[in-house]
Amino acid sequence: MATRRILEKGRDELLRKRSRPVEKFDKRLWTLLDDMADTMYDADGAGLAAVQVGVLKRCVVIDVGEGLIELINPEIVESEGEMINAEGCLSVPGRRGTVKRPERVSVKAFDREGKPIELKGEGYLSIAISHELDHLDGILYTDKMIEDVTEELREDAAQ
């Protein structure tokens, strides 16, 4: 297991590419997933898509404090409600902005063995799933941002 370099907006155009479906659930994929989790935890992130470490494969790792989730070839099959929250991205370091996301999502995906799985996410997990799945289509949260709140958060932290 190892950490990998995280690509950054404005520097790495790969972030704008559409990722391709995973076809082989092999050791190479497992190494990628292990490295992605290491990289996410090392950077104190709540989620990471493969493209963020330079690999155009449709897989993401997420941990919103409830344990590690790995999603391969994920698809949102249902979404409900909407909410606006501030979020950040490891590829847009030091910044935060508000984005409108669904309150609840249902996802179909595969696990690392290639077994189909289903997952429901609410609240913070719903945000993380929506945010990470956007990465697979080259979309960054800044594309959907309602308001940049980087400065407001800095002021809050200073008080």
Q: How far apart, in whole angstroms, are the C-alpha atoms of residue 27 and residue 20?
A: 18
22/45 with CB nearer Ni ion: 45
- List all residues 6 or more positions away from 159 whose beta carbon is below 8 Å from its beta carbon: none
What are the strands, taking DSSP E only, across 30-68? 47-49, 59-62
Binding mask 47-86 for Ni ion (x = CB under 5 A): ----------------------------------------
72/99 with CB nearer Ni ion: 99
Helix (H, G, I), strand (E, B) or coil at 155: helix
User: To which residue do tokens 């898509």 refer?
Assistant: 49
Q: How far apart, in whole angstroms, are the C-alpha atoms of residue 135 and residue 29?
A: 18
| CB of residue 49 to Ni ion, shortest distance in Å | 7
| CB of residue 57 to Ni ion, shortest distance in Å | 16
User: To which residue do tokens 């092999």 refer?
Assistant: 26
Among 53, 72, 89, 127, binds Ni ion (CB under 5 A): 89
Tokens of 96: 């935060």
| CB of residue 86 to Ni ion, shortest distance in Å | 13
Q: Which of 70, 75, 113, 132 is catalytic?
A: 132
Shortest Cβ contact with Ni ion: which residue? 89
78 is catalytic: no
User: Could you list the active site residues?
Assistant: 132
The residues binding Ni ion (CB under 5 A) are 89
